[in-house]
Amino acid sequence: MKKALFVLHQKTSEAGDIGKKLKKRGFIFDYVRPPLGDELPKNVKQYNLIVVFGGPMSVNDEEDFLKKEISWIGEILNTNVPFLGICLGAQLIAKYLGCKVEKNNNNLSEIGFYKILPTSKGLKMFESHNIFYQFHSEGFQIPSGCELLAKGDIFNNQAFRYKNSFGLQFHPEVNTYLHLKWLFLVLIKKPHVLFKKGAQNIFNQLFLRIKYNNSISKWLDSFLDDYLLQ
């Protein structure tokens, strides 16, 4: 039986389509939530895949759990365990490798659907689809030794590969249910976030969710089978 570890950063966080698709591929799961006091496993080689998801915090915060998680990510990068960092997860990889994670010069956010531009290294990966859901206000530099796979207009770096790991600034795990859940929770807790400079309005987001949900799902199937789990 194949086993994956999901590292989540809120009580309400879910693995979305990544969890569903991996279950169909025969995976079972362990979950840890470091901000809630869960300990990160010491033996990472027990897993066939590790995924670190996003969260509302910044990698630049001084929280102890973030410092521990960044150091722990370094342990994964020194193994052959396939590793995926999404949004905050990708930024944590970049931070470990010594790169800055920061806002862009125009203080713009990406909240909604945005086109990414594949590099020569990422042409095949993104040939079927290149518009993805995003939810962030900071971006990462590309660490030394990485292959840049995709760029963006607002945040320059959108996807990279480093040894056994992939870092994605966007959220391919978010399906219709998870998208609606995120919007609902943000509207209740921090509604101003959805009106940050650069964010798409909610109705446009929902229209684009209907338009692109199936093609993002198919892209994720291809990414899992042809890249991450190879």
DSSP labels, 168-213: ESS-TT--HHHHHHHHHHHHHH-GGGGGSTTPPPHHHHHHHHHHHH
Set 14, 87, 129, 179: catalytic member:
87
Number of domains in the chain: 1
pLDDT at 201: 96
pLDDT at 230: 86
pLDDT at 176 over 90: yes
* DSSP annotation of 5: E
pLDDT at 98: 93
75 is catalytic: no
**Residue 170 lies in domain:** 2-228
pLDDT at 144 over 90: no
Q: Which residue has the tokens 């040894």?
A: 163
Q: What is the pLDDT of residues 113-140, one digit of tens each?
A: 999 999 999 999 999 999 999 999 999 9
99 is catalytic: no
pLDDT at 88 over 90: yes
Q: How far is CA 126 from the centre of its chain?
A: 16
Kindly report the CATH number assigned to the domain that includes residue 140. 3.40.50.880
The CB-side HSE value for 6 (13 A sphere, CA atoms) comes to 23
173 is catalytic: yes
Contacts of 87 (CB under 8 A, 6+ apart): 53, 54, 55, 134, 135, 136, 168, 169, 170, 171
Q: What is the pLDDT of residues 24-74, one digit of tens each?
A: 999 999 999 999 999 999 999 999 999 999 999 999 999 999 999 999 999
Set 129, 138, 173, 179: catalytic member:
173
Q: From CA 138, how far away is CA 224, in angstroms rounded?
A: 26
Report yes or no: 203 and 46 within 8 Å, Cβ to Cβ: no
pLDDT at 143 over 90: no
Q: From CA 203, how far away is CA 98, in angstroms rounded?
A: 38
* DSSP annotation of 38: P
pLDDT at 67: 96
The rounded mean pLDDT for the chain is 97
pLDDT at 105: 85
Sorting pLDDT into bands at 50, 70 and 90, what band is 221?
very high
